[in-house]
Structure 1
Amino acid sequence: MSDIILETRELVKEFRGFVAVNNVNLRVQRGHIHALIGPNGAGKTTCFNLLTRFLPATSGSIWFNSQNISGDSPAVIARKGIVRSFQISAVFPNLTVMENVRIALQRGTGLSFHFWRSLRPLSKLDARAMELLDEVDLGSFAHELAANLSYGRKRALEVATTLAMEPELMLLDEPTQGMGHEDVEKVTALIKRVSEGRTILMVEHNMKVVSSIADKITVLARGAVLAEGDYAHVSKDPAVMQAYMGTVNEELEGV
């Protein structure tokens, strides 16, 4: 099996003449944490939307496990093993933490849309749901309403529901956005822990997070790849420092 799990070839996305993603060639190595970074408007989230087919590419191709998935639907791509989170927290607030994870686990039972049936058959999913909650340190919150969780714990719950889909490749879009320092540290450690035996591609603005867990970094600017390599390499690249400018530039140098 190839050590490249995901590859894009000359990927382009145009919006009425504006090129948001410009000939991006991305190669994500199996088992790695790969970070996609860049200034605001660099095309990072657009790239994620192309990879999961929430947006169709203008041109180019996307390959997953050596198969061309460029024409697949988002549902088919998810079933093949690419599962993503979003910038905005996406939990069911009026369900318990356990119920949120159990909904994700239902996909494998074929009962996802059988709303008229009793919930009793779903109790067989509880043991696996608890395993996933324990993996993200939410076991003690299993019967708490998701609405009552802190923002950082809601993010952890999203990771648990993502893991319930048994992804080969997890796409995490700004997993620490809007968090305080303590939550950032917890979620960073969580991402590192759940990456064991998995592949993660993440969009992230926090350079301390990126520097501490990313095996490889791709820097985007104006929709194109500006630099690529490990943190030590990209943080000293003059083009990267110029693209970030100001405060982030100082952060790049100081971490």
Structure 2
Amino acid sequence: MHDKTSDTILETRQLTKSFKGFTAVNDVNLRVQRGSIHALIGPNGAGKTTCFNLLTKFLEPTQGQILFNGQDITREQPAQIARRGIIRSFQISAVFPHLSVLENVRVGLQRKLGTAYHFWKSERSLNQLNEQAHHLLTEVGLQDFARETTVNLPYGRKRALEIATTLAMEPELMLLDEPTQGMGHEDVDRVTQLIKKVAAGRTILMVEHNMGVVSNIAHTITVLQRGAVLAEGSYAEVSGNPAVMEAYMGTTDGQLQGAH
């Protein structure tokens, strides 16, 4: 049964992925609450990216289950997962560098409509796409950059465009992969506020290194270490957990710092 009334939008049960004797994801039970921002953190090699690859079906789990809206999606293909509304941002193909900012968003909208919709046949439908694209650009603060060639955008603005192209796919669950990686303070702040804004009425699961970002916007934080869940809870609960401090800092004294 397709259950959108439950508080849990995504659940994994004993999710495990082994590569030739190395267990990258080990018995992970994750519950993502509908309408929340849920962060996946942990030291390098903790299994965060592998976890994302399992959820979007770029990898098949060795064992365990993935449920979305109460339905078992463990054996589904990446395209089926995307059609269900699980959309991952910050993949390399998120934007086309030599198209304009507006055209990039339009491509996302066209992909959402699918090839059956011959958008080029009618000028009215193309205008409608342009309207939607402008609306999405306004949502991410890029309305003044619509005609700019994407390759010329500053780094942080490219990330905002990637969020816009992801929003064009109408995600029910948006997976953000290291959204502030490689950014200076100003861009980090801007993108953090943007994530907070677009999270309204959506669910976001994000992998993020920057503790400042996580503490600022995540409702729930799951800490992975060596592929297993080390701790889970609010930022206050997780950052005060001695096991988490040890995993990050090699020490149990002092707070969890903004470790990148």
What is the match of residue 151 of structure 1? Answer: 155
What is the match of residue 128 of structure 1? Answer: 132
Alpha-carbon shift at residue 245 of structure 1 (Å): 1.3
Task: Indicate whether 1:192 and 2:216 are aligned.
Answer: no
8 Å Cα contact 1:11-1:23 kept in structure 2: yes
CA distance in structure 2 between the partners assigned to 1:85 and 1:101 by the alignment: 13
Secondary structure of the residue that 1:129 maps to in structure 2?
Answer: helix
8 Å Cα contact 1:98-1:129 kept in structure 2: yes
Residues 226-235 or 118-127, more deviating: 118-127
What is the match of residue 105 of structure 1? Answer: 109
Question: What residue identity is the alignment partner of 1:207?
Answer: M
1:52-131 matches, within 5 Å, as 52-86=56-90, 88=92, 90-111=94-115, 120=123, 121-131=125-135
Q: Which digits, 9 at most, give the CA deviation of each residue in 1:152-194, with x for residues without a partner? A: 0000001001111111100000000000010000000000001
CA distance in structure 2 between the partners assigned to 1:145 and 1:254 by the alignment: 34
What is the match of residue 40 of structure 2? Answer: 36
Alpha-carbon shift at residue 91 of structure 1 (Å): 1.3
What is the match of residue 223 of structure 2? Answer: 219
Question: What residue identity is the alignment partner of 1:154?
Answer: K
1:37–1:31 CA distance, 2 compared to 1 (3 A):
same
1:239-250 matches, within 5 Å, as 239-245=243-249
CA distance in structure 2 between the partners assigned to 1:64 and 1:210 by the alignment: 24
Alpha-carbon shift at residue 253 of structure 1 (Å): 5.3
TM-score by length of 1: 0.94
8 Å Cα contact 1:30-1:199 kept in structure 2: yes
CA distance in structure 1 between the partners assigned to 2:176 and 2:30 by the alignment: 16
TM-score by length of 2: 0.92
Alpha-carbon shift at residue 89 of structure 1 (Å): 7.4
What is the match of residue 206 of structure 2? Answer: 202
1:39-50 matches, within 5 Å, as 39-50=43-54
Secondary structure of the residue that 1:75 maps to in structure 2?
Answer: helix
Identity %: 70
What is the match of residue 18 of structure 2? Answer: 14
The aligned length equals 253
Any runs of at least 4 consecutive aligned residues in structure 1 with deviations exceeding 6 A, and if so which? 112-115
1:113–1:13 CA distance, 2 compared to 1 (3 A):
farther
Question: What residue identity is the alignment partner of 1:49?
Answer: N
Structure 2: gaps of 5 or more residues? none
1:91–1:108 CA distance, 2 compared to 1 (3 A):
closer
Structure 1: gaps of 5 or more residues? none
Question: What residue identity is the alignment partner of 1:125?
Answer: L
8 Å Cα contact 1:44-1:203 kept in structure 2: yes
